[in-house]
Structure 1
């Protein structure tokens, strides 16, 4: 693969990608609409190559990627979540406005955008025609095949603008790029896709889309598809080249010229409809490269006409708008981890910085620490800087409440801890920006930057500092809200415990009386009547109710019972006690299939009784006109590699409503069903978890609901 010069990599690594303003506006509107689904957002994002690249870059970042690769927009948007997407949209819009004001947006992207969408649509259609397993991947590869042009435009700027002005088409542009830059846009685009670490040929498809026809015939299917889509769009108006491309496409993919024409016509109509919906006048723009919208010299003269005072006022208003928008979005985030993640990605977008980390003050130990912060490099997770050390620039920045950088002094004078932080973030130097509010020092934002990045940040250091102040306020506000909630919870717990003690005392007396009367009845009833077992079970149930009531005085988790019990025995005992009440008396037939000689299950039998009680009660209430309940057990099952017993409880009722399935095993609103607390299934789930097991549920078409429970066998018990 062609090597990209280091100077070009330094310029493009901030990933500043201009988007079509029409798409960006629609994206911003969609993220602010609570009714917009992730699928709707994906349909908007896939209309712009820069936006698609940004979503996939953030979704595949170490802070968000949990192992599985993200190579579709739908997956990427789910990983980001609505709140982070809203913050991302605001930052992209702000960055776009800032770039336009600063003179960086001098190009008309209409032709580039239309070409990218047409190639994406063509690639998707071709993939479907040849049976490629993932047409969505083909669409993304086609959409972003020229993404390198935007990276170079955002990174190299004026120098690349000169190349664009000299080039009539992509072939000429590629030659000029190689001559003057030592690389080309296909290699730069492939570099970006490589950053996502996908097990895919998408990067190769981007890299190879300008390769000669005789080479592409032997390439992988995705590369052939994207090359063909690119050729079809480029040759639409050139008959000789169109005939040559058609011959190569037929040889590479087996698609005839007639089929190519039909595919091109369908895709062109679709793009025209999309352009009309977005208010874009034409997607058939003859030049497929970013094109000058305003001559540079004229643009510069307009900037020089602006007074210094007006420039400062404009910057102040712009910065206020930036901070207000971000603050509004940050207040909607639900955890400190979400806030830190949003701040990190926002700073990357706004300032084009490299890797960013946080060091927070640990007040109890008077140190700056990067521990327990998502997305941090492992070294920073272990790094601690004493606040009284006086050596690290991080402490200087925090105590003096001003940004501090290793670029401001002699490199050899940097403290070792600053050198370690620089190495952890992979930069040439480091910039610390204090996180301070009026009454508190929160920590520092840590930017690992190159010399070129620091030079770009230096004129905007005031905005960087304001952003850090906003970050500090957001973190402090969330922590204050958390502390208030904890204080309220403590107060409520105290009041609850007082009331619970009173309830336990009041309920204990009648329960004791009932237990004593059961003993009297047991002595008076002759053994030959065969009711002693039922009376014994009733006594056990009263003991269980007594234990449940007594547990109210201790909100803490009840210690797990280390004993064991036989699942089948408990089921038979519960049927003897509740079979008439729940089933026989309601016209419900019980089908029982219990595997004999099951190994004992670890835990306390009372928890399992409560699980059965709740599930059977729900099943009985779901079949008021009668029906069927099936109870079965099976051994020789595995739960996380551990021998377990499986219990099935299924009924012939109507099944669980969709809203219950969506929040399965979570408490429901208490007024959803009068007379019901709405917490039965959540109690079941917590009891199963307490027994170390797992529970699932599914609606069976026309057969009601089926609950499946796996409980681990007691240790030392062989599987039958």
Structure 2
């Protein structure tokens, strides 16, 4: 039985083939459907308690850094994305499936998963760098690339242990040769076959199957196989290995610096993921079958680390609660400075807040108790004016950036601007963290550090990002509150201005009427005629002025409550029209006429409202006619209504204003109080259960007031 397929088929028949949970099978099938709904996907995940718990744990972790707690699976799927949930579910399920693999000195499950996640992250980094493969597919292939080892260990425990012992000091390609020689199947073939049984994508299966082939063969393969081959080499030998550098150059044209970038921050990311999944981190083993001595010191470090983590979490919660309680920007700044002092034991910190507007300037905002306050009170800078400086790089990366040098990178002199910032902070090193909320840069957090603070900074990186996100949100909310307050104040001022204009407009009407009547009185007095009617009109207008001034104690309340009376419409209109006719000079070329229907019209309305409407319409018509033309007032009965038409033969209303002519502020006039008269008239007509409309063409404008009879 030398055929690998025969060995694997026999394994399937014996019942030793691990089967994936049914929930994961459904999940994988659903992820292949491009039309799957988020709710349906969440419903599948929700069926498995272990997968559901880990999904919620991951999405609410500091590693992901959500702005608020996510409590439903559907929200988690939306936030993480379908591919991330799929990969997480596979990872959890594979660990469940192989839980019965016993740990010993030859095959440690913890070391196996540490190596697998290292490969997964490396594969993702390579995919992001070369842009030929989806990073999520590369991550999954890297995670499962050695899954065949667990399968062979479970299927042939007695035969596989000696092979692992021989393979400890050699590359996995040598182990694959030993596996084929003894078991007639290697872990690459076994892993690919198992993934076929689980119906994973063929490109991932092939990457697992061929990742230990020779470099010349892999060069002819598809990009995903090249990625898994290189990530496996890097995880075993490191970025400085000649074998790795040769493979990187031949497979992707990468130089030493590009390879170093792939490894940057890798250990921290592995620690974060392993921490979320509860996997202890081995410090000395690179491969899943390397040996690692256990010691009491390791357990002691783990316990102390756990205690420190609990302490940090409680202190972090205190800082976040302070941010939530902050009522304004100053309180946010105080909370941040105090929180950094308690959480990270760092006093040399400075918040640089983005200046409102499009200037891009960052302005220092220290609290009154900040020791840097005196020196930085007027300090500001524009990051774009200092390219390649630490603040500019932090904004470009949209993430934590520090001045500690990578030991593997070529030393370079510090940026002059960074040197000045260090002098300002009074520190040897510094970290810069952009504060971003809803893709809006709210500011920068500058933290002064000592030369020995790198490890502390690294361990607190996730918490710092979480703090920066919450600070950005608090600052954005404060800015929105201030803008809303300014907007409300502006709207109140505009409202008060509008009321004042309305009052001025309404005061102007009776004053104009009285001015016209004074001309009539003067003319009648010289001719010895009676002036009783004119004095009565003036007295009525004075009373109307008095009512307006009495109502000024409450500008927010409407005082024009209708007081209907039954009146003869034609007679009342003539009374309104008379002073306008009398005020025309003898040589005037303007004619004002009135035409009533054959039968008197009786209406029950508020006479004062009717006066106000007609006077507004008459004044507007006379202004439109200017020095010559005809103004005609006509009445008629139609469809149970009394209609009053005010018509002039002036130039007409601008068509652009016609649709909104009864809106406040819409007018073709340039006089004060423009755009109010018609809006007031329309409102009064509505109060009397009537309406006011306008039709206009060049040479003819007609306003029609419809009143109930």
The TM-score, its normalising length taken from structure 2, stands at: 0.31
Larger radius of gyration: 2
> Which structure has the higher relative contact order (CA within 8 Å, separation 6+)?
1
The TM-score, its normalising length taken from structure 1, stands at: 0.31
